Amino acid sequence: MLAVVLGGLFIAPAAQALQFEIVNESEREDDEVFVTVVANGAYDVPGVAENTPTKLSELGDTITINHLVSGRVYISYGAGVEEGAPFNSPTRFDWAEMTVTPVAEDVANLTAVDQFAIGMRLDTLDGSGEELESVGAANSDTIFAALQEIPGGPAATVRDGAGNILRVLSPLHSSAYPNLGEYVRSLAGETISLHTAFFGTPFTTTHYSGTFAADGSIVLNGTTNPLGAAPPQIALSGAELIEDIYTGGNTPNDVEGAIRRDLLAAFSSGFWNGRYGNDALSFCSDPIVDAQGSYCPHGFNQPGFGDARSALSPFPTCEQYAAVINQHSDVYGNPYSDASKKVAVALDQPVDGGEVATLRLTILPDSGDAQPAGGGNANCGAGGPAAASAAAAKAPQPASRSSKGAEARFRQRSRVASGRLGIGRILCPGGCARVRASAKAGKATVARGRWNGAAANRALALNLTKAGQRLLSAGKGEPKLKIEAWATAVDGTTTQLRGQLKARGAGK
C-alpha cells in the first residue's frame, strides 16, 4: 500500500530511494494495524517520525526510505508499540529488519529469534513490478499450532485474557524448553572435526578436532592460517557448551569465537552424530579446499534439523523451536538460520541505482494456506525405540527425493518455448495439492510457476520473468540455472526439491 519516490542523499550520482509497500491481508482494518519504524543507525524516512506508532490508515500510499541502517519496522494489532516493547506486552506485535544504506549488499529479513507472533512475507520487485525474490512464513495459526506440539512450546506461549495467542517466545526468552544436555553427552567418546573460516582482516581458516568426555566437555586442538590467530587448544566444559547452544554465548567476533560458534551451530541444527558424520566440512554442499585451508564458504547449508538425522533418538537432537520455524517459514529461528536456508532478500541499492525498486511487506491472515519459499523437516525431537526404528526406515533420501515420497525428475537441458521453460516433472504419490517452482541464475529469478490441483505426476513449465527474457535472449551459450520446487502433498506435508539444468532461448 506504499508506492515509490525516487530521491537521495548524494549529489552525484543520485542515490536511489527504496519504495516500501505494506499490504494488509491480516483481515483487520487498516486503522487497527499500527506501524513503527526505528533504526540503530542513520534514519531518513521522509514523513515517518522515528519510533512513533502510526495507524496504517494514516500512512498514505507511500513510504520512501532513503537511509535506514539496522532498521526495524514493527507491525502491531490494536495499539502501537515502540522499540524495546516487552515480550509480556498485551499487544500482539512482530517486525521486519532491513538496512538501506544504500549499497548493493543491503538486505531485508523477517525474524523469530526472539519470538513468533505474526506471519508475514517480504517480496522485492524491480522498476516494472516484476517480483525478484521472496521470503515468508506460513499463517500464524499454523506456526502457533506446531509450536504447541514441542516440549516447552505451550509454556513459552503468551496469551491474552481471552486465551488467544499473542506470541510464542524463543529459548532466548523462555526457560521452558528442554536443554540439549542429553544430546551433547551422547557424543561421549566421539571425535569431531571443525573447519572454520573467519571473514575478518586477515581472512583466516582453522582446523580443530577433539573428543567428547562423558559430561559433554571437549578440548579442541588445532591450528590456524595465518598461524597464531587462535589458541592451539580450546577447552569447553560440558555445562558451558550446553547452555551456550541456545544463547550463542561465549562467541566473540574473533577467530576463536567463530570456532565456538560452529560447534554450537552444529548442535543447534542437529548435525553432530547425524547423517553427515562428524566432520563439519560435510555439513555444507560447497566446501572449499585450497592452499588457504578447508572451510564452508556459506556456513552449514546442508538440510538441517530432521533432515540431518538418520533416526530419532530418545532425546531431542536439535533446537526444536528453530526447527519448527525452519519448517514453516523462511525466517531466522536462531542466529544461525541464514546458513541452512535463504532467510533474507537482497535490496541491491547502490547509489547509482539497483535492480530492486520496491520492498513489499505483506501481513498475512492468521489462517490460510500460505507457505514459505523453502520448507524443512522439524522431526528431531525425542522418540522412543519404536519411533527411532520408524525414523530409520524413513531416513531422508539424497538428491531430490523426500522422506515423504515426493520426487522431482528435473531435466538436464531445456529450451524456451512460447515464453515458458520446461524443467521436468514432480511426482507425488497420492497427489500434489500445490506445487511452486522457480529457476535462478545467481540472485536473479529467471522463471517461476505455481499450480493447484491433485495431479500425482505434474509436468512443470515455468513462465519467464523479464530477467529471464533478457538472459535467454542474449545468445550467450546455455546458462546454468538452479531449480527449486516445493510440493505440498494432499496431507499438507511440504517437500523442497532442488536441481540444476542448462537452458537456451527459443530457436537456439
8 Å CB contact between 388 and 314: yes
Nearest to 369 by CA among 285, 313, 433: 433
Give the residue with greater pLDDT, 397 vs 120. Answer: 120
Fold that domain 18-172+320-363 belongs to in CATH: Thaumatin (2.60.110)
Residue range 366-378: mean pLDDT, rounded: 90
8 Å CB contact between 136 and 25: no
* Per-residue model confidence (pLDDT) at position 11: 37
Least confident range from 253-262, 399-408, 432-441, 469-478: namely 399-408
Amino acid at 298: H
* Per-residue model confidence (pLDDT) at position 476: 61
Residue range 453-464: mean pLDDT, rounded: 64
Within 10 A of 388 (CB to CB), how many other CB atoms are there?
Answer: 17
Q: Tell me: pLDDT of 241 over 50.
A: yes
8 Å CB contact between 183 and 313: yes
Q: Tell me: pLDDT of 388 over 80.
A: no
Task: Report the share of the chain in percent with pLDDT over 90.
Answer: 63
Nearest to 306 by CA among 383, 374, 395, 378: 378
Q: How far, in Å, CA of 155 to CA of 147, rounded?
A: 10
Q: What phi and psi, each to the nearest 5 degrees, are found at residue 145?
A: -65, -40
* Per-residue model confidence (pLDDT) at position 430: 65
From residue 119, how far is each of 76, 157, 222, 277, 414 by CA, in Å?
A: 12, 16, 44, 35, 36
Round the average pLDDT of the chain to a whole number and report it.
Answer: 87
Q: Tell me: pLDDT of 456 over 50.
A: no
* Per-residue model confidence (pLDDT) at position 389: 44
Entry pTM: 0.75
* Per-residue model confidence (pLDDT) at position 440: 87
* Residue range 186-198, pLDDT digits in tens: 999 999 999 999 9
Span 398-504: which CATH code? 2.60.40.2550
* Per-residue model confidence (pLDDT) at position 328: 96
Least confident range from 10-14, 137-141, 230-234: namely 10-14
From residue 352, how far is each of 6, 7, 16, 17, 128 by CA, in Å?
A: 12, 11, 7, 10, 18
* Per-residue model confidence (pLDDT) at position 374: 82
Q: Tell me: pLDDT of 469 over 90.
A: no
* Per-residue model confidence (pLDDT) at position 448: 84
Q: Tell me: pLDDT of 394 over 60.
A: no
* Per-residue model confidence (pLDDT) at position 453: 54
Q: Which of 456-460, 475-479, 499-503 is most confident? A: 499-503
Q: Tell me: pLDDT of 398 over 70.
A: no
* Residue range 264-299, pLDDT digits in tens: 999 999 999 999 999 999 999 999 999 999 999 989
Q: Tell me: pLDDT of 458 over 60.
A: no
Q: Tell me: pLDDT of 302 over 80.
A: yes
Residue range 172-193: mean pLDDT, rounded: 97
Residue range 130-151: mean pLDDT, rounded: 94
Q: How far, in Å, CA of 321 to CA of 313, rounded?
A: 17
pLDDT band at 451 (very low <50, low <70, confident <90, very high): confident
Q: How far, in Å, CA of 176 to CA of 483, rounded?
A: 39
* Per-residue model confidence (pLDDT) at position 420: 78
Residue range 169-177: mean pLDDT, rounded: 96
Q: Tell me: pLDDT of 401 over 80.
A: no
* Per-residue model confidence (pLDDT) at position 506: 61
Residue range 32-40: mean pLDDT, rounded: 98
Task: Report the share of the chain in percent with pLDDT over 70.
Answer: 87
| Burial (CB count <10 Å: 0-12, 13-18, 19+), residue 380 | buried
| Burial (CB count <10 Å: 0-12, 13-18, 19+), residue 23 | middle
* Per-residue model confidence (pLDDT) at position 402: 37
Residue partners of 351: CB distance under 8 A and separation at least 6: 8, 10, 13, 14, 15, 16, 102, 103
Q: Tell me: pLDDT of 492 over 80.
A: no
Q: Tell me: pLDDT of 455 over 80.
A: no
Least confident range from 127-141, 220-234, 389-403: namely 389-403
Domain boundaries, the chain: 18-172+320-363, 181-308, 398-504
pLDDT band at 383 (very low <50, low <70, confident <90, very high): low
Task: Please state at what angle helix 255-268 crosses helix 238-247, rounded to 10 degrees.
Answer: 80
* Per-residue model confidence (pLDDT) at position 392: 40
* Per-residue model confidence (pLDDT) at position 8: 38
* Per-residue model confidence (pLDDT) at position 210: 98
